[in-house]
Amino acid sequence: MNRVELISKGQKLLDIKDLQVLQKEYEQWIDDLRQSEDFGKTMERNSILLHISSNPYGVPEIELKKYKDRIEKYIRLLQNCNKENESNKLLLQILKNFDMFLYEFFRGKPHGKSSIDMDGLKKFQINNEYDLQYILYSYLKPIYPLCRMEVPEDTGYETVRTDIYINQGTVLETKCSRPSMSQKKLIEEIEADITHYGASNIFFYIYDKEKIIDNPELFKKTYENKIYEKNIYIEILQPKELI
């Protein structure tokens, strides 16, 4: 059952006036929620307790309100989860298209009358994470005007810096492979970032110019499908032509 169906079913529960009927339908709805992958992650992040302790001697109207208040809360979480998911899809698509921007800007052919020094642009190369971070930030800034670079975050025992801060719940980390870097080292850096950052949505853009990642698709799935209390997204570019 998808989010739209879950929301619709929850809204129908709000119209039920019989307590026993509502209790039965609520438990069925909760089972559906538990099987929803997206809501499952939301449950983990918000430490949601789905079960409601009923008072058999309670006032029916009060018990009804208790159930309906909880249902309304979960409906709001589902709606927010949907908005968050759409925002994440948009950012992921923008990151997927970054290679097109790189090629057109640094290797494309402008109009013959253009005064742009293409020979100079063609000399540009992304040599390290700082180069990648700056170009990627410039690419994202018109789309996310509030994004910032090198934003400090106090984790409680140390301060870490987010490469690119998108918003309160979303950050972007940049990785650029180098000759001395192994896939194992890259994995260690990613796992450390996932642990340290408090954002619920962590994106990684990996410019693997040294092609240290043996199987990019498997690498992505390993982390994106892993069970964290966060949403992890990874985009990998192994350029055919170095930029």
Q: Which residue ranges make up each domain of the chain?
A: 3-87, 97-237
Q: Identify the CATH class of 97-237.
A: alpha beta
3-state secondary structure at position 232: strand
Give me the residues of the chain with pLDDT under 50, please.
none
Residue 69 has, within 13 A of its CA and on its CB side, a CA count of 7
Proportion of the chain above pLDDT 90, given as a percent: 45
Give the integer Cα–Cα distance in Å for 156 and 215. 36
pLDDT of residue 104: 86
3-state secondary structure at position 149: strand
pLDDT by residue (tens digit) across 8-33? 999 999 999 999 999 999 989 988 88
pLDDT of residue 179: 93
Main-chain dihedrals φ then ψ at residue 161, nearest 5 degrees: -115, 125
CB-based contacts of 50, cutoff 8 Å, min separation 6: 30, 33, 34, 43
Joined tokens for residue 180: 């001395």
Q: What is the pTM of this model?
A: 0.70
